[in-house]
A and B are shown apart, each in its own frame.
Chain A
Amino acid sequence: MTTHEPAVETSEAPLLDLLTGFIVELRNAGLPVSLTENLDAMQAIKHIPLEDRTALKYALAATLVKNHSHWRAFEIVFDVYFSLRGDEYSLEDGELLDDAFDEDEDGDQENQGQGEGQGGEGGSNSGMTPEEMAEMLYNALMQGDSSMMRQMARESVRRYAGMEPGRPVGGTYYLYRTLRNLDLDGVLEKLMQQQQDESDGDMSQFEQRLARDEFKDRIDALKKEIEAEIRRRLVADRGVEAMAKTLRKPLPEDVDFMHASREEMANLRKAIYPLTRKLAVRLARKRRRGRKGPLDFRHTIRASLSYGGVPADPKFRNPRPKKPEIMVIADISGSVAAFARFTLHLVYALSSQFTQVRSFVFIDGLDEVTEYFEQTEDITEAIHRVNSEADVVWVDGHSDYGHALEVFWNNYAKDVTAKTSVLILGDARNNYHAPNSWIIQDLAERARNVFWLNPEPKSYWDTGDSIIGEYSQYCDGIFEVRNLRQLESFADNLA
């Protein structure tokens, strides 16, 4: 491999520099790119036509991204590093599009004057009035013409975003400005209206619904194009490295539960299902292996045939150790609610791995919510009910661990046996109430083990009203669980 490298260097030095920067940025974004993979990528791009941006993207992805959840991060970095370059390469392509665009324009609006100069920034399409522009956008969406949509995205950014070089505003600001001018919700209604008119009001509701889904999809695609265009322009203005740095986001498995944005939350929810599936397989497997069971006579005899009938290699049955029982006690007050939700979700998705799962939620009062999960197969719905129906407020709706634990101890402590693992979820911010930590001590004596999962960073523990140290002295384990990665590794050790 090394013998080929100089060849790459001499013929494609600028590209090599760009790629090196690209890979460094991927690593900064958290993707584990090894040296071998780096070399593979260099090899790969020798086999594809470099002017083909799509091919370049897939070649790089194939060699550098080995985990699907990293794809988003890769895509953003790729866009930043190769958008300008792609433009250079696709210049011809772009011009062709422009020509087609001009022809369309001439064909459709031949009689319209050219003088309006709305955008005032020059360029081939600036002669259109906003109305013409809206019309074209509308047609592009109607026909689902992706090259046209791209063209319109470019044009609308140029026109409406009002981007100024060197102005320190984020991409979202420009995105907002562009979208505000396009009124895409109105466009959606118009599209639906036309669809209906075309079918002579004959559309069933089901069809309407499908059509709406489809248009929404196209509008989303358009929004993505607009975002990409804004990004491209920002890169041109601020330079690749600076832009990559601004756009850098944590990978899904590293997103902090307590500070996740709405989009990140949605992604987390999507990530949790495959994660539980993975964990369930792993836990089941682990239980089956490990210690060996009693002699498997039939298997031993079969194996002895390879040794001329001497049972030299005894085989054993796989043992089936008992599954643990789980009790989850979760703080669902505002600050840690998202974390509790995820953990409950995870525990219930794994419930086949435990003999019994019981769950309790509290703020300053405590309520058992096991039945919400038993009544439905849909965990999301159950969690929704937990949030809306559980009776968890006692006095003022501020976390009171001491009181919640007391309620638990009075009503349910008798159910805690030597087979039970107790999980307590919360930040132990007790609002200066009495801690009642003797309850934890008592539970630890009764239960198989007591684990505490804290969604706060370790450095915040025992600061302010956090009394995690008070409780943790009696727990069998105390874990910082701030993101999916940590939650996964905890669940892995649980069974």
Chain B
Amino acid sequence: MDHRFSDVQQVRDQLESVHYLADDSIAGIVHLADRLEKPILIEGPAGTGKTQLAKSVAEMTGARLIRLQCYEGLDEAKALYEWNYKKQLLRIQADRSHETDWSELEDDIFSEEFLLTRPLLEAIRAEDPVVLLIDEVDRVEIETEALLLEILSEYQVSIPELGTVTAKQIPLVFLTSNNTRELSEALKRRCLYLHLDYPDMDREKQIVLTRVPDITEHLAAQVARVVRSIRQLELKKHPSVSETIDWARTLVLLGIDHIDAETATDTVNILLKYRTDIEKAVKDMNANADTYSG
């Protein structure tokens, strides 16, 4: 059995080469997922790089990324496979003159030629290496989750007319969830679990440095510090990593190389999206300075 990665450090290095800065837990779990051949369920606040992790892993392993975006009302026909009804109909009509035996025809119209593969089946049947990303799995109804179970544990899809399609190679599977509802035990049990939280200050600084060209070390450090202190407030929505990066980019564009209370106040609307949050943060930035001035 050959593995994609030899050790955790390799995962980390490769991820870094595609500009994804992984910490111990991220690199560790990707390594483990490869070894145990298990999917990874990623939960965490919005904008912490859940989807990006899957994309980066695909990029670094040179695999094709197959993405299934989940939404309410997603069903078998859109996630797994569907019979190409129109083509089947044509086949039957074309055959009318030849009087083929019915059972033969039936075998024929339920063959792979008439099968429309959807992302999950496609990932299973792929010959080349693939990374399967099942995005925002918490959006489907709890009953629909059951669709995923066979794939996640056995890497196979059963099609009544065709039989069971088994994976030619085990794809790396990522599921992301924004935690809007509790996922079923059955799904969780089949996955490795990773909680992606906001990065700590040093890592965030590194992320800003890699993601924002032309930023000075000093500014990146300041950005990380300000964001960290804003995240400690009780807010409706904390600034995400992507918002941090946007903010850093804005500061660079504005030609600011040093953040003070004023610039922070003026640009904080890039980090925060609720009016009450912005008010709170501004108040905090200015008020605390006064309190501590003694």
Contacts and interface: CB of A to CB of B under 8 A. Distances in A.
Contact of A204 (B85, B193, B260, B280): B260
A213 B229 contact: yes
A65 B194 CA distance: 9
B256 interface: no
A365 B39 CA distance: 57
B267 interface: no
Contacts of A212: 292
Given A62-B29, A62-B192, A210-B229, A54 B24 contact: yes
Contacts of B193: 61-63, 65-66
B10 interface: no
A100 interface: no
Among B28, B36, B188, find the residue whose CB has the most chain A CB atoms closer than 10 A: B28
B261 A214 contact: no
Contact of B181 (A40, A54, A62, A281): A281
A14 interface: no
A65 B38 CA distance: 15
A66 to B, nearest CB: 4
Nearest to A378: B276
Interface stretch (B59-67, B155-163, B283-291): B283-291
A47 B36 contact: yes
A72 to B, nearest CB: 12
Contacts of A32: 185
Contacts of B292: 205, 208-209, 212
Given A47-B36, A205-B292, A377-B276, A281 B28 contact: no
Interface string A264-297: 0000010001100110011001000000000000
Nearest to B237: A273
B8 A55 contact: yes
Contacts of B234: 269, 380
A62 B141 CA distance: 25
A33 to B, nearest CB: 10
A308 interface: yes
Given A210-B225, A306-B85, A63 B192 contact: yes
A205 B261 contact: yes
Using C-beta atoms within 8 Å of the partner chain, give the interface range for chain A: 35 or more
A36 to B, nearest CB: 5
B15 to A, nearest CB: 15
Given A58-B28, A208-B292, A209-B292, A71 B195 contact: yes
A460 interface: no
Interface string A395-432: 00000000000000000000000000000000000000
B24 A58 contact: yes
A48 interface: yes
A43 interface: yes
Contacts of B225: 210, 213-214
Interface string A18-58: 00000000000000101011001001100111000011001
A59 B32 CA distance: 7
A54 B8 CA distance: 12
Contacts of B44: 68
Contacts of B259: 206
A55 B23 CA distance: 11
Contacts of B43: 68
Contact of A278 (B29, B179, B194, B195): B179
B28 to A, nearest CB: 4
A487 to B, nearest CB: 15
A36 B181 contact: no
B35 interface: yes
Nearest to B182: A278
B293 interface: yes
Contacts of A47: 31-32, 35-36
Interface string B1-41: 00000011000000000000000110011011001101001
B188 A66 contact: yes
B211 interface: no
Contact of B24 (A34, A55, A207, A282): A55
Contacts of B261: 204-206
A63 B195 CA distance: 12
B89 interface: yes
A49 B38 CA distance: 19
Contacts of A71: 195
A46 to B, nearest CB: 8
Contacts of B32: 44, 47-48, 59, 62
A213 B181 CA distance: 34
Contact of A59 (B28, B141, B280, B293): B28
B31 to A, nearest CB: 7
Nearest to B194: A62
18 contacts: A49-B7, A55-B28, A58-B24, A58-B25, A59-B28, A61-B25, A62-B192, A63-B193, A205-B261, A206-B260, A208-B292, A209-B288, A209-B292, A210-B226, A278-B179, A278-B181, A281-B180, A377-B276
Interface of A: 32, 34, 36-37, 40, 43-44, 47-49, 54-55, 58-59, 61-63, 65-68, 71, 204-210, 212-214, 217, 269, 273-274, 277-278, 281-282, 285, 306, 308, 376-378, 380
Given A32-B185, A213-B229, A273-B236, 14 more contacts: A48-B8, A55-B28, A61-B193, A62-B25, A62-B29, A66-B189, A68-B195, A205-B290, A210-B222, A210-B226, A214-B225, A217-B228, A281-B181, A306-B85
